[in-house]
Amino acid sequence: MKHDTRPIGELALSSVRQNRGLLLLSAFSLACTALMTWGMARLLEEENNKVNYHFARLMADVHEHETFLRNIALRYREALPPESDIPLAVKLDAQAGDAERAVYQGQQFVVSLPFTLAFNKRYSLADMRAPIALAVRLADYYGTYWANAEYTAPQVLLFSPENQFSIALPAAGYPAMARPLAPENYLPLSDGIYQRLVAQQAALSEPQVLWEKISPAGSDRLIASIGINLAGTTLPSPSESVQGILTSRLDMDQIEDVQRILERSIYDSFTLISPGGKVLLGRADGKEQLPEGLNLGRDGINVRVTTHQGPAWTGIYVIHYATFLRVAKWPIVALALTLLGFFACTWLANRWYRSRVVLPAQHAHQSLVESQTFIRDVIDASPTGLSLIRRNDRHVFLKNQSAQQWGGTTQLLDLIENQPESAELCMKVGERYLQAFFVRSRYRGDDVLLCAFIDITQHHADNTALAEAKKNADHASEAKTLFLATMSHELRTPLYGVLGNLELLGLTDLNPRQRAYLQTIQSSSASLSGLIRDVLDVSKIEAGQIALEPVPFSPRELATTCLAAIRAHASAKGLQLDIEIDEHLPARLLGDPMRLQQIIANLLNNALKFTEVGRISLRLSVIEQQDEHATLCWQVVDTGIGISRAQQAWLFKPFYQVPGSSQRTGAGLGLSICASLSELMGGRLRVVSEPGLGSKFSLELAMKIMPEAQDSAGTATNPAQPIHLRILVAEDNPINRAILQEQLSALGARVETVCDGAQALQRWQPDAFDLIITDVNMPVVNGYELARQLRERGATLPIIGVTANALREEGQRCLSMGMNAWIVKPLTLDSLHATLLKVCPDCQAAPQPVTAPPDGALTLSGFSAQMQALFVSTMATDIATARDALASADASRLIQYLHRMSGAYAAVGANEIAEQCFSLEAAISDQTLTAELANRTDILLHQLSAQLKV
């Protein structure tokens, strides 16, 4: 593109710049002029505000005086007692009088306001009894009124008709007054005021206040007067006139801020005109007719202020022109300097234009061309594709190298054909992914589109990889959850058979050697169950599935129970056990005793494990107790090997074990679970330990205090009595079904069993059973469907679900399908007993096991002959059915029966056979029923059949 290099363009541009500068300078000058004018207006407005404030304060003080005088004139008789009740206990001190009048200073109490009383000497003090009482009442009212007012209290004078007596409040010479009456001038001054006011006796006959100057010389003092009726016993002698005169003095210099405002203002004089037109202060000079506000006159600026409520008072403030010029000289000087600077700058701008614009115009234009070229180079080298297209015919005005290389302009135009607004789009051009932006605009009189392209191919690849990684992570999480549920089911189902049979075996008659073997097996099985429980607890904690179940419990009993659980092991190691319980410990608290016992028991077991000599102490103390809440501190102290500070930082991490310990048993999950449970309950688990000095684990926990339980001897369950329940059991695994039947029978219940949910629905009749226990995973009709159909048929009896999945979702699903409770395998007599009592609280239950049946000869892993026969018959049937499924290549049916046999053999302790069944089940599930897997299955079934025949 060719560029115009003629200097006329720069000349025109420079001319425009000069014009803009002159316009800006003119605007600046106008702004300065307006600012100076506004400043002077603000100055006048500020002084006008001072005037209004001054006048408002003056009028408020005037109205306060008028209110005070009217209140006394109209209502003073209400305060006068009858003549017989007039008190004489008034202290009177004689003052200097003259030949005709006596002067006394009176005061009722020491704290009362003193007053001055002057009266004709022909009267005695006894004759002045009523005036004295009037003075006392006026002093009381004076003090009460002006104590609550925000203005300065005035000097008040009361004159009786014919000047028989006069009263001054406060007394002459009262030090608290700013300008007190001098005692020696009291009589002459009061006579002068009385003579001036008597001349206006007629005007005072109405209940209105008249304002006057005290004297021509006292130009800053005003006096307000009002007539007051003193008829009756108040006068010492009869008089033709009964009208007295009540006055109050207003000092202009006592009005707050008046003198200060006038000293700091620019006003030279002030005139005050009463509502009647009388000039009280200053001189009017014919200014009464001026309009309200600012007025210009020969003597200066006049400001007229008038009240608009009540009688119209008028104030006129005058400022001379010389004073105004003195005050506003700096704004005027600034205005003149601004105008002078404007003309000077205009002259300099013209000179600059003549000498500097024309010659440099060519150089400036060349710089402009170079700048345009540089900008075009920047656009061409930009990694963002840019193009400018005319909309009506798609003519391309501009396209940089990136846009030419990537293309996409045509596709973008096709996409935005129906787009009414500017937007952002993503599109694929070949193997590239482009993010396109377009804006509608105008260029050289045409409607154009400015398009920008950004290559986001790598970003798209990264997002795809991230999405794939997230998908894989989600699949891994789902696989983990599925694995935990499967392992929970596969481990707990055989473990249930082991623990259940061991528990039932313990109820039979055994010799000492067999009893020792049984205890060893039970201990190992309990360790395995605890490990499975810990692993599942960690998984549930990570998934946020641990939920507390707060119930009332006794902390003292819980502590005693935890310590009793390790007493035998501690005695065997020669350790001493101590327990310290605070005497202020509440009897019952609200919390989750099972989780709390899990924490304390784990801490005690760790202390027992790592302590060889010394003692283990359990301390339970009350840290704080307020109203219905108490904060307890559980401490487990031992004299074991101790833990270093470096190891304490990792102590509550999962799978961590203290290095160098000779007791490296367990998986290292106990303290991690305890710490997580402590946080879940709102507490914190801490440790203080040193190597070789033992350890102290502390748990602080706040819980709600519950009222002590009432005597429940009549309602408590008698453990010596059996459960009186009719129970229907639905379980597909015959081994688990037989164990569950024997456990329930051991608890005293009457039990009937069925193989699946369909048989349970056929067997169920209203009022035939008190309770239904069902496995949740069964063929034909599972436990969920069984519960749902029973509820639809109107069954209200409790339903308990039995599952090997310990995750919370399983329990929630059981409850959502209509079950009352759920219990996780392996089932013990205690857990089964507790669940039965929970859903059927009215039944009598006994946790002690009953003796074995008389035919309890054990020939197969400690089972009775009846159990052995059941096992052999069941397995024979399952093996035959599995052979049929293998012969017909029915993989799903074969998997089902391999699963049944795996659980049955695990229940009787045949772990190797159970593992072989499980391996074949998993292999067939992951693959097809290949010839190799069929051969392996056939060999296993022949071996199992041969063992059963033996």
The CATH code of domain 856-950 reads 1.20.120.160
Between the alpha carbon of residue 839 and those of residues 34, 550, 792, 821, 843, the distances in Å are 91, 17, 20, 7, 10
Structure tokens at 775: 């496995």
Q: What is the mean pLDDT of residues 793-811?
A: 79
Output the pTM of the full model. Answer: 0.38
pLDDT of residue 277: 78
**Residues β-bridged to residue 101:** 120
Kindly report the three-state secondary structure assignment for every residue of 575-602. CEEEEEECCCCCCEEEECHHHHHHHHHH
Angle between helices 329-356 and 8-75 in degrees, nearest 10: 170
The CATH code of domain 551-706 reads 3.30.565.10
Separation CA 325–CA 300 (nearest Å): 11
Identify which of 460, 456, 458, 452 has the alpha carbon closest to the alpha carbon of residue 403. 452
Query: Does 719 have pLDDT greater than 50?
Result: no
Q: Which residue has the tokens 């207003």?
A: 250
The CA radius of gyration of the chain, in Å to the nearest whole number, is 55
User: How many CB atoms within 10 Å of residue 697?
Assistant: 24
The domain defined by 716-839 carries CATH number 3.40.50.2300: yes
Separation CA 181–CA 187 (nearest Å): 10
pLDDT bracket for residue 81 (50, 70, 90): low
Specify whether the CB–CB gap between 368 and 4 falls below 8 A: no
User: How many CB atoms within 10 Å of residue 162?
Assistant: 14
Query: Does 859 have pLDDT greater than 50?
Result: no
pLDDT of residue 253: 65
Q: What is the rounded average pLDDT for all residues in the chain?
A: 76
655 Cβ neighbours under 8 A, 6+ residues apart: 667, 668, 669, 672
267 Cβ neighbours under 8 A, 6+ residues apart: 47, 51, 303, 317, 318, 319
387-402 burial string, b = 16+ CB within 10 Å, else e? bbbeeeeeeeebbbeb
Task: Give the sign of the dihedral formed by CA 104, CA 108, CA 110, CA 116.
Answer: negative
pLDDT bracket for residue 772 (50, 70, 90): very high
Report the side by side order of strands in the sheet with 269-273. Answer: 279-281, 269-273, 314-319, 300-306, 293-297
Instruction: Report the relative pairing of strands 750-754 and 726-730 from DSSP bridges.
Output: parallel
Segment 486-537, tens digit of pLDDT: 665 566 667 666 766 776 676 566 777 776 777 677 666 765 666 666 666 6
Between the alpha carbon of residue 844 and those of residues 247, 709, 720, 723, the distances in Å are 101, 20, 9, 5
Specify whether the CB–CB gap between 850 and 746 falls below 8 A: yes
Specify whether the CB–CB gap between 546 and 540 falls below 8 A: yes
CATH superfamily of 382-460: PAS domain (3.30.450.20)
Identify which of 762, 758, 756, 763 has the alpha carbon closest to the alpha carbon of residue 732. 756
Segment 141-198, tens digit of pLDDT: 888 888 888 788 888 988 888 888 889 989 888 887 777 888 888 888 888 888 888 8
pLDDT bracket for residue 420 (50, 70, 90): low
Phi, psi dihedrals of residue 258, rounded to the nearest 5°: -65, -50
Q: Which residue has the tokens 């013209």?
A: 350
Instruction: Report the relative pairing of strands 771-775 and 726-730 from DSSP bridges.
Output: parallel
Identify which of 610, 619, 633 has the alpha carbon closest to the alpha carbon of residue 563. 619
Specify whether the CB–CB gap between 167 and 157 falls below 8 A: yes
- The residues spanned by each domain of the chain are 52-262, 382-460, 551-706, 716-839, 856-950
Between the alpha carbon of residue 498 and those of residues 482, 490, 502, 796, the distances in Å are 24, 13, 6, 33
